Amino acid sequence: MPKSYWASYVVVFVASACTLILEIVAGRILAPYVGVSIYTWTSIIGVVLAGISLGNYLGGVIADRWASRRVLGLLLALGGLSSLSILPLIELVTGYSYPDGFPLVLKIVAMTTAIFFPPAFILGMVSPVVVKLTLRDLTQTGGVVGRIYAFSTLGSILGTFLTGFLLIALLGTRMIVLGVGIVLLALAVLAGGLLRGRKTSAVVAAAVLGVLYAGSSLQSFSSGCTRETDYYCIKVLPLEVSSQRTVQQLVLDHLIHSYTDVDDPSYLRYGYIQVYAEIADYQARQHPAFRALHIGGGGYTMPRYIERFYPQASDVVLEIDPGVTEVAHQYMGLSPDTRVRTINADGRLAIGQMRGQAIYDLVIGDAFNDLSVPYHLTTQEFSQQLKDVMGPDAFYLVNVIDKIEGGRFLPSIVRTLKTVFPYVYILSDGESWYSTRASTYVVAASSTPLDQERLRQVHGQGSGGTVVTRAMPQERLEAWLASADSLLLTDDHAPVDNLLAPLFVERGV
């Protein structure tokens, strides 16, 4: 391999790495504004590929007519500038007010295109120009082109792994974008010799300063996250709910996950959390030293509640993101000396490893929302794994946001659980069994029936200690399930995002 070719290989390697770095970072950047869903990633991948494709085409035209080191340098400089422009564009594009009725999916595509298409398009032009500059002998065309695109692909692979496994947690998204811009500008100087022309140098320098000034003016260098992790942009925001109470809001990406009074674990704002608390008391009356397993930690609302009011109970939390646990300790009132034991691992993997080792009386699922549902926690196979770590009269509770009438995800969850558990219930803090509006329901599954009389005797979470938990009558549940459009969710077929698509579109972001 001639030494003179190495400069070409380095250029395409770095340019392609930068393109894929921006693609991976795009998901984290857009998450606080549009959530993380199949629509978000479909838009990102499609837009970036479209940019690369059109860039390759136009780059070929430019290579045939104007290929030179200077043109290559200008393309790299424009790639760097368009990368830096991502920072101010985030604030401008996400803050734009779209017309009423503008489809949500088109909104996500439009935002992704405005922010991430330009750098993908410009960097897509680099490889054809490099090929043209490198070719000296037409008899070696195949070998030269093959090696250039091989190094380009290697750069893409490195950029993908480096960003996902290291850079986001180490630097945060804004610093990564800034770093990509700087690297491309430096490469433009080295590979394109841009400093040799005073006018070109002045124009590039002025453009860089302009973009950086716009970014700093819009505060684009700050993500606004209390902590940015591989999984979430985590925000903790104070909220005064009354003159006597201020709570901490935990926001994971776009969604408020919990409201926490750090001094009062009995404060349970959400209705579904109140249902969880009443079922916990239902179990405690039979098993004072009941064993609770939480799938998803979030603000640690229920673990703190159980720790405070059921001193004989044991609490294990499966939280995939160590950053969420750290934030709970730092901001959400989780004591450093807590009896709550946290396992930072994916819930399904952890439960799979527990089979035959631990038996729980109460399993609480709190990892679902209406914009992002881990599909592998919804399937028949997962339900069987859950049953294997549950006692004979244990309950599995999971919150599901959907519609009773017209929803497809809620009946699919119920249908799937009924293939594993003999008794499945829909619980709520009201009786909205005929509602056409989206609400949060608790699906309860067990090997033993729910004792309604025992439930009426629990410590209620309503006004004056009244019990708020209501169960959909079984006759109504069976009739509803028979007529609902639902699927059996399995590891081979669990189109959760599609089932939630109508709710996603209706809700907007």
Q: Which of 10-14, 41-45, 170-174 has the lowest mean pLDDT?
A: 170-174
User: What's the average model confidence in pLDDT over 200-206?
Assistant: 61
Is 408 strand, coil or helix?
A: coil
Measure the CA angle with vertex 190, ends 185 and 195; round to 5°. 80
Lowest-pLDDT choice from 48-62, 199-213, 294-308 = 199-213
> What's the whole-number mean pLDDT along residues 340-352?
93
- Contact present, 232 and 324 (Cβ < 8 Å): yes
**pLDDT confidence of residue 210:** 64
Is pLDDT at 508 greater than 70 in this prediction? Answer: no
pTM, 2 dp: 0.83
d(CA 54, CA 89): 21
Please state which CATH number belongs to domain 233-507.
3.40.50.150
Which tens digits make up the pLDDT trace of 480-490? 999 999 999 99
225 pLDDT band, cuts 50/70/90, is confident
How many other CB atoms sit within 10 Å of the CB of residue 483?
10
Are β-strands 314-318 and 291-295 bridged in parallel, bridged antiparallel, or unpaired? Answer: parallel
Q: What is the pLDDT of residues 94-150, one digit of tens each?
A: 877 777 777 778 888 999 999 999 999 999 999 999 999 998 777 677 888 899 999
pLDDT above 50 for 1: no
- Total residues found in the chain within this entry: 509
Regarding predicted confidence, which is higher, 140 or 49?
49
Side chain identity at residue 20, one-letter code: L
How distant, in Å, are the alpha carbons of 43, 87, 263, 367 from that of 204?
A: 31, 18, 55, 47
* Predicted confidence (pLDDT) at residue 501 exceeds the cutoff of 80: no
Confirm if 506 and 438 have CB atoms less than 8 A apart: yes
Residues 176/223, Cβ–Cβ less than 8 Å: no
CATH of 3-224, one of 1.20.1250, 1.10.357, 1.10.3470, 1.10.1330: 1.20.1250
Amino acid at 45: I
Q: Comparing 143-152, 192-201, 271-280, which segment has the lowest mean pLDDT?
A: 192-201
Check whether 216 has a pLDDT greater than 60. Answer: no
Q: Using an 8 Å Cβ cutoff, are 40 and 27 in contact?
A: yes
Percent of the chain with pLDDT over 90: 61
pLDDT average, residue stretch 154-160: 95
pLDDT of residue 370: 59
Q: Provide CB contacts within 8 A for 337, sequence distance 6+.
A: none
H helices present in 95-172, as ranges: 104-124, 126-134, 141-162, 168-171
Distant-in-sequence, close-in-space partners of 56: CB < 8 Å, separation ≥ 6: 124, 125, 127, 128
Distance CA 371, CA 144 (A): 46
223 has pLDDT over 70: no
Residues 6+ apart with CB under 8 A from 304: 260, 265, 333, 334, 338, 340
Residue 81, H or E segment = helix 69-94
Domain boundaries, the chain: 3-224, 233-507
Q: Which helix (DSSP H) or strand (DSSP E) does residue 242 occupy?
A: strand 233-242
**Residue 19 in contact with residue 123, Cβ under 8 Å?**
yes
